Structures are given as C-alpha cells and as structure tokens.
Amino acid sequence: MADAIVVERLSRHFGSKAALAEVSLRISKGCVFCIAGPNGSGKTTLLNIVAGVLAPSSGRCEVMKGLKVGYAYQHPKLSDELTVGENISFFSQLNEGEGEWGRRMVDAMGLGELMDETADELSSGTRKRLEVAVALLHNPDVVLLDEPTTGLDVESKEGILQLIKLFRKNGKTVVIATHQLDDFSGVCDELVILNKGRVAVEKGVKGFDGEKLLRVYSSAVSKG
C-alpha cells in the first residue's frame, strides 16, 4: 500500500535536549498506526512535526501531497470564550470544513446537546471530545490523535474507537500517540514504540490482543 507519511532520520532538539533522534518510519495509507512510549519519549513532538506545527531540527517528514491532515491535540486547543457551537463553526470555516461531515462528527462525539455551552465550562472529558470533533471537521485524510482517550469515560472511549474504525473503513490514515496501548489493541494495525526519542520497536501488530501488546511495550521500554 502507498505511504501516507514518510519520516526519515528525523531529529528535534529543544535547546541541548534531544526530543527525537534519527527517527525513521513509514505509515501506509488507510492504516491505523499507534505511536506508544512512556512520558517524554517524543510522541507528541513527532505528531507536532507531522502536523506541521513544529519544524524538525534535521531530517525529513513528509505527508503525501494532497492529503488533508486533522490533528486532535493532547491538551485541547479551543477558543475558550466561545460556545461549543461557535467553536465548531469557527474551526469549520477556518479549515474549510464540510457541513454534513462536520455534523456527523459532532454527533459522533455526543456534542449535539451541548452546542450552547461555553468551552471554558465543559468538563475535561467533554473538552477532549470537542477537541477531537474540531480536528475532524474538515474531513481529513490523515487523522492525528494525541492521547485521545485520556480522561474519557468508558462510553466516550468507545465512541472514539468506533470513529477510528469508521475512518479505517473509509480509507483514512489514523496515527494515535498513546501510553494507554490496551485501549487500542482492537484497532491498531502497526505499532512503533518510542523511548527517549528513539524508535525502540516497529512492527505490524494486527490481531494482537491487549496483553500481547503490553508485553511488547514493556519489553521495549525496559530495554531502553
């Protein structure tokens, strides 16, 4: 399958600290790709570079031409003074979102009845759901999700997993950064484990159950 994202010898430094060091990987179109690793391993930095929010210090990161990227940040980046509806409308217009698709995402995230609530007053779980909806409003081809299930209740987590399955069905590429690997055991096709900014493990894991994934993860992190 053709590549959606190519990362070659990518490094990123913050001052003298290396957040990523010589990371190389390829992510196929239509694949659900998990980036796992402990806190500070470079997962968010890698997603930021793929999303174009951050420039690499060296190396190359390329999202194939013509593919639209949607990025749900780990910490929701919303216009806090605006209501849920106004946030949806603002980001939809800013990213040239598609009306019908946007409404589907709002419903999928269970935000339909919260449109008049101010973003600032939402619970952290609801803010997270709004963040995911905002990232998806423009029907992106590549979906980047940073810790998408953190702080969510069981029902909301299930909603996210259903959405990921829907994306895969529609041929979209999904990249998930997480340290809660067991949440995604049922949907993950490929896995890369980062440790201290380097790739510790990269392998296809389709069909792995949660326990097996965790064993791979623990082994990789303990070696690092």
Partner 1 sequence: MRKLKTLVGREFLVIGRSALMLLLIVILPIIFSMIFASFKQVIPNSTPASLIAASPEVTESEMNSTFKLLSRFCSPSIDSREDAFRKLSREEVYFIVSVPSGVWSGEGNVRVFVDNSLSPVAEMSDYVAEILKYELGEAYKRNYLSFPPPNILIEKIGKPISPIEYFTPGVVMVLLAIAGILVIPFNTVKDRNLMSRLLSSASPREFIGSKLLFSLLLASLQIAIFFIAQNILRLPVMSVNLLSAITLILASFALTSTGLLIAFAFKLSNLSRYVCSLLFGAVATFSGIFYPPGFLPSYLQPIPKVLPTYYAMVLVRGFGVKGLEAGIFVDYFAIIVGWLVISLVLLYYFIRRFMDG
Q: How near is the Cβ of 104 to partner 1 at its closest, in Å? A: 20
Rounded-to-integer distance, Cα 73 and Cα 17, Å: 22
> Would you say 90 or 125 has its CB closer to partner 1?
90
Q: How near is the Cβ of 205 to partner 1 at its closest, in Å? A: 30
By CB under 8 A, residue 83 contacts partner 1: no
The DSSP-derived string for 50-105 is: HHTSS--SEEEEEEPTT--EEEE-SS----TTSBHHHHHHHHHHHTT--HHHHHHH
Rounded-to-integer distance, Cα 95 and Cα 59, Å: 28
- Tell which positions 34-73 bind partner 1, by CB under 8 A: 48, 51-55, 71, 73
Q: How near is the Cβ of 127 to partner 1 at its closest, in Å? A: 11
CB atoms within 10 A of CB 154: 8
Using CB under 8 A, count the residues that bind partner 1: 18
Rounded-to-integer distance, Cα 29 and Cα 221, Å: 27
By CB under 8 A, residue 79 contacts partner 1: yes
Binding residues (CB under 8 A) for partner 1: these are: 14, 48, 51-55, 71, 73, 75, 77-80, 91, 94-95, 134
